[in-house]
Structure 1
Amino acid sequence: MATSYDKAIALIDEAHALDPKKITKEDKEVPYELHYAQKMSHYLNLRCPNASETLRIAIRSQHFRRWEVPRDSYPMTRIGYHAWRTFLKKRQAELASQICLDCGYSQEDSEQVAALIRKEDLKSNEETQVLEDVACLVFLDDQFEEFEKEHDEDKIIKILQKTWGKMTEEGHQLASKIPMAGRPQELIQKALAG
């Protein structure tokens, strides 16, 4: 019989599978947000193999139904970007929390999932910091190479330095094991030397 956790993950992944953006992995077309969620879970297993169910669900829900609120639905400014991110965190937290309730989790556990997705108490809550490490690791491993092609070097170096600053020493150790070559590796070396 499926547990509350199994049911919640299945519902979250069903939603991820609806993402219209597709990427090709191992000669197979995969919805991007499903790929992203699986990558988040992969890095969580490396960073914190004994993570609680609430953290595992929050990690899996990090970009929950994100494609429904495109970036360009907000002004293409720094303020617009932050407003978009703030709205997404709140929305994703509410949606994931409701899935938890529907799958039999307590109000307290469901609210914990929501608080993690909103990244509350980042510097004082160990689980929130683990989530931040994992999000940074996925960015470096899965999104950075594409990201660096779209921005000038100064901006990239600042973003890399900010990303590195958000991570714990455990996160840094895992990041140093991500295979990189060429320009991405060069940019990271510059960022960390600065």
Structure 2
Amino acid sequence: MGQGTVNRLEIALAAIDAANAHDPDTTEGQPAAQLYGQRMSAELSRLFPDASAPLQIAARGQHIERWIMKRQEFPEGRAGYLEWRTELAKHHAKRVGEIMLQAGYDRADAERAGRMIRKEGIKRDPEVQALEDVICFTFLKWYFAPFAPTQDPAKLERIVVKTARKMSAQGRARVLDEFDLPETLAAAFRPRA
């Protein structure tokens, strides 16, 4: 099928899925990055049904080829962790941009998706914030339950507090409506005085 038959959004999403199909982690029965991207798209569609094409592509490609840059390749500690996350975000943005250009999007749209993936303008740019809310919902819905028992309770509470801080007020309110969190964790999502 050519671009006339399949629109460029479908082409871009399919290319991201194809790239993520190479993830060697198939713990949940399909490549982890591919499954994560599909879950991100489902949450985006549910939370922001009118999302722009760059936001839809950024959500699907937010972890594109995440497995190729391993945490162990970076220094230990918080500084090494942050460096790893920054380099991953740059890689994800670059790959998504390449895919968008190949699918027929212009450079401005590709750069827009890249800024979202790199989280440039969080709390100031509504689409960057929407992506962050979707990331947090996807984590809470699909990854929190298996992750929580692996963490010290105090550390887990700090992670939840950081997650809540990244979200919009509307996103935090929806979390309280949609998730049955223990009070110690739910408190992080309550409005601040």
Tell me if TM exceeds 0.5.
yes
Count the aligned residue pairs: 187
2:99: which partner in 1?
Answer: 99
- Percent identity between the two aligned chains: 36
Partner of 1:41: 41
Match of 1:3 in 2: 7
AA paired with 1:134?
A: V
Kept in 2, the 8 Å contact 1:4–1:105? The answer is yes
User: Separation in 2 of the partners of 1:76 and 1:142?
Assistant: 27
Counterpart contact for 2:175–2:189, Cα < 8 Å: no
Paired residues of 1:157 and 1:190 also in contact (CA < 8 A): no
Matches within 5 A, 1:12-161: 12-24=16-28, 29-161=29-161
Q: Which amino acid aligns with 1:87?
A: E
After TM superposition, give the deviation of residue 188 of structure 1 in Å: 2.1
Contact conserved, 1:74 with 1:84, CA < 8 A, in 2?
yes
Runs (4+) of structure 1 exceeding 6 A deviation are none
For 1:191 and 1:116, locate their aligned partners in 2 and report how far apart those are by CA, in whole Å.
24
Give the counterpart letter for 1:142 in structure 2.
W
In the TM superposition, what is the alpha-carbon distance from 1:23 to its structure 2 partner?
A: 2.8
Structure showing greater relative contact order (alpha-carbon pairs closer than 8 Å, 6 or more residues apart): 1
TM, length-normalised to structure 1: 0.89
RMSD between aligned residues: 1.8
Q: Which consecutive unaligned segments of at least 5 residues does structure 2 have?
A: none
Contact 2:13 2:60 in 1 (8 A): yes
Q: Select the structure that is richer in strand.
A: 1
Helix, strand or coil at the partner of 1:148: helix
Aligned to 2:27, what secondary structure does the other structure show? strand
Q: Secondary structure at the match of 1:120?
A: coil
**TM-score, normalised via structure 2 length:** 0.90
